[in-house]
Structure 1
């Protein structure tokens, strides 16, 4: 209950901050009874990730929709829920008499094939099943961490392999990406796993992790230098230089 109250207060704060003068002028006088709160939530046939929200309540009010991953204060809106799963769509109307809420539940049958159309998603995360990456310490030459010139695809200047990773106690680190209900990221160090989320920009080929980091990382948005079914190379891009991390799919051997 405490968690629900906290979330409701956060939603109310977000709604009030986003109110415009036009919103304030649309507020009706008295509160509206829950029995008079009318709305519809409709999923697109054959593509149920697409959801149409329609406020049907009569009178003056500000509508506010809450759903996993976002909100809307439009009377009619179309949203995308990219992940398979069960969702609660909460509909609240605000009048001068206060808020009145109702909700409905919907089910999304599969991850949105259009949203995840780029092959990069599956190469990185293997959809809902997930994929685990480890240091590519057995790569020919053994160099998998270091830095180099601005366009380098492997360490050129400062070069390190398993000996350095072992001295830093990160040789056994693992990172797992999956798309089960969210863009999930799990970083495992010294047997302890840390849950976080990630964002993959398939157009600009960048990777950002929120709530954790990669092994020996610098908490930046990383450039995806290479991504195949078995290999992942990330870089921190500088002006004429790069820090470089080289990984392989867990279970893959060179």
Structure 2
């Protein structure tokens, strides 16, 4: 049975949602009774990450929807909430007498299996449980950081291992990816952790971190050169060259 919520405004909440000049010019009709403010939030049966929004308030009122990850001004819209959890969808209409608002609470039962269908998500982040990566400093030869030619899969020209990483005070750095409620990234350096977010492009095989970076990183979109259950190699791609970072799953030994 579809999860269907149709709500009347039970208690007026004066939510001051910003309105553009364009919105203000298009507002029409008088203020309406609270009981006439109606909307529905419907989750798709068997795939409750897909959520249908429907503004049911009669008249030419502009709806404004707010939800985790975005907003909409459409009367009818379909959104995707890819992460399991409890959510609040806020609904506001604008009248000449001011905004009227209410909200609906919904629960998404699991991370979206379609959204996260690429094996890369689990290899990198181990779903909601998370995965921690450290320098692959015990790789045969001991070289895990440096640079090389444009198609290099390991440092070729400038080659560094544990001695250089220790000198730079980054040898014990860790980075953790998880999918618990968001695309979470945690960078740990010198015992202190920094929370951030990441984006994984599974088609182009790139990784973007927002709000932090990798050890000795350059705050760019990194190319994923190698990703297995135990190994991760990232690169900053240049014109005929690459900077290369080589990691392993924490707890893995070569």
TM-score (norm 1): 0.91
Unpaired runs of at least 5, structure 2 = none
Residue 155 (str. 1) matches residue 128 (str. 2) = no
Change (3 A) 1:3 1:107: closer
Structure 2 distance, partners of 1:40, 1:7, is 7
Change (3 A) 1:18 1:243: farther
Kindly state the Cα deviation for residue 34 of structure 1 after the two structures are TM-superposed: 2.7
Change (3 A) 1:11 1:66: farther
Contact 1:136 1:248 in 2 (8 A): yes
Kindly state the Cα deviation for residue 23 of structure 1 after the two structures are TM-superposed: 5.2
Kindly state the Cα deviation for residue 4 of structure 1 after the two structures are TM-superposed: 27
Change (3 A) 1:7 1:48: closer
Corresponding position of 2:207:
207
- Between structures 1 and 2, the one with greater helix share: 1
TM-score (norm 2): 0.91
Change (3 A) 1:12 1:5: farther
Structure 2 distance, partners of 1:6, 1:241, is 57
Kindly state the Cα deviation for residue 42 of structure 1 after the two structures are TM-superposed: 0.4
Change (3 A) 1:177 1:9: farther
Unpaired runs of at least 5, structure 1 = none
Corresponding position of 1:25:
25
Corresponding position of 2:218:
218
Kindly state the Cα deviation for residue 8 of structure 1 after the two structures are TM-superposed: 21
Segments of 4+ moved more than 6 angstroms? 1-22
The number of aligned residues is: 254
Worse-matched range after superposition: 1-10 or 152-161:
1-10
Change (3 A) 1:5 1:86: closer
Q: CA RMSD in A?
A: 5.9
Kindly state the Cα deviation for residue 98 of structure 1 after the two structures are TM-superposed: 1.4
Contact 1:50 1:80 in 2 (8 A): yes
Kindly state the Cα deviation for residue 3 of structure 1 after the two structures are TM-superposed: 30
